[in-house]
């Protein structure tokens, strides 16, 4: 992605944290995760949530008989596919997350990147291959600021829009990183179903407390990171750009995980930008 600039550049104190989570992971999280979010909000923190929903999109496309394929990890997005992507991300998944936060006593407001032109986008370079997939050019952070100032945590579906009103399917990790960068947040929390990046310590697998992007590339090349962990790690790395200097991968099923990360406890894996 190109460097992110524009009128949506940071205009406020950084949000406490930006959290990214896949739709399927969020659906499986225990109630105490959302109670932890509510507690953080009551303590004056300002969570900003960006979510995905790939499996639910695929399931709905299959039920509707709409073919889908992936090109270099990006879903090929025709107009028909885009209708389903928007329906699932901005509709069912977004509202499910909002309802769970509110059921736990928190205050949340769901929106998509097309609302108010929140996430401005343009076609990716290989749009001829992947269709209506976009990259972020600007996040109108004043919209998020306004929601935070009202005492709500924004829950954002990664749909982008351009000046003509054309919608784009935005990779959730890329969208989360852009939101964090425009808000001036230096750290992101990526909630997954794994405790972090695992490495063989000789006496079994152990969680790496910290790793650089370069070290991750080396571990993938050597086979130390393999299988289903590769896309999880690459997704976390893709959140690091702009002002985002650190991404923390955590297991959302661990009680009080967000509070523990924000309190400085060494839990999960920190992926850091090299100095």
- Residue 106: CATH number of its domain: 3.40.1160.10
88 occurs within a structural domain: yes
Which tokens hold the place of 251? 């297991």
Residue 144 lies in a domain: yes
Residue 28 falls inside a structural domain: yes
Within a domain: 4: no
53 labeled part of a ligand binding site: yes
Residue 233 domain flag = yes
29-85, pLDDT tens digit by residue? Answer: 999 999 999 999 999 999 999 999 988 999 999 999 998 888 877 889 999 999 999
User: What's the whole-number average pLDDT of the chain?
Assistant: 88
Residue 246 lies in a domain: yes
Judge whether 210 lies within some domain.
Answer: yes
Find the domain containing 75 and state its range.
17-272
169 annotated to bind ligand: yes
75 is in an annotated binding site: yes
- Per-residue pLDDT, 3: 40
Position 73 in a domain: yes
Which stretches of 8-132 are DSSP H helices?
23-28, 31-42, 54-64, 79-86, 94-103, 127-130
Q: Which of 11-15, 223-227, 232-236, 256-260 has the lowest mean pLDDT?
A: 11-15
pLDDT of the residue at 23: 78
Q: Of 53, 20, 86, nearest to 237 (Cα)?
A: 20
Q: How many domains does the chain have?
A: 1
Confidence of residue 275 (pLDDT cuts 50, 70, 90): low
Torsion of CA 39, 241, 22, 217, to 10 degrees: -120
């Amino acid at each position: 992605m190109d460097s992110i600039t524009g009128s949506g550049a940071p205009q406020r104190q950084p949000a406490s944290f930006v959290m990214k989570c896949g739709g399927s992971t969020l659906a499986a999280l225990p109630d105490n995760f959302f109670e932890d979010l509510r507690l953080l909000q009551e303590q004056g923190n300002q969570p900003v949530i960006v979510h995905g929903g790939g499996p639910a999109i695929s399931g709905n496309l299959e039920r509707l008989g709409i073919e889908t394929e992936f090109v270099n990890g990006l879903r090929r997005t025709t107009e028909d596919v885009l209708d389903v992507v928007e329906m699932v991300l901005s509709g069912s998944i977004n509202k499910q997350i909002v309802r769970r936060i509110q059921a736990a006593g928190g205050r949340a407001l769901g929106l998509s990147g097309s609302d108010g032109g929140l996430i401005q986008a343009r076609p990716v370079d290989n749009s001829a291959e992947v269709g209506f997939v976009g990259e972020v050019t600007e996040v109108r952070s004043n919209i998020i600021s306004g929601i935070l100032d009202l005492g709500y945590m924004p829950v954002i579906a990664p749909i982008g829009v351009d000046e003509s009103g054309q919608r784009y399917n935005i990779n959730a990790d890329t969208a989360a990183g852009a939101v964090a960068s425009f808000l001036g947040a230096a750290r992101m929390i990526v909630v997954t179903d794994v405790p972090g990046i695992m490495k063989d310590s000789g006496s079994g697998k152990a969680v790496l407390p910290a790793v650089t992007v370069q070290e991750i590339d080396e571990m993938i090349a050597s086979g130390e990171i393999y299988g289903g962990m590769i896309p999880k790690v690459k997704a976390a790395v893709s959140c690091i750009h702009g002002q985002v200097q650190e991404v923390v991968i955590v297991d959302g099923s661990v009680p009080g995980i967000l509070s523990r990360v924000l309190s400085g406890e060494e839990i999960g894996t920190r992926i850091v930008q090299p100095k």
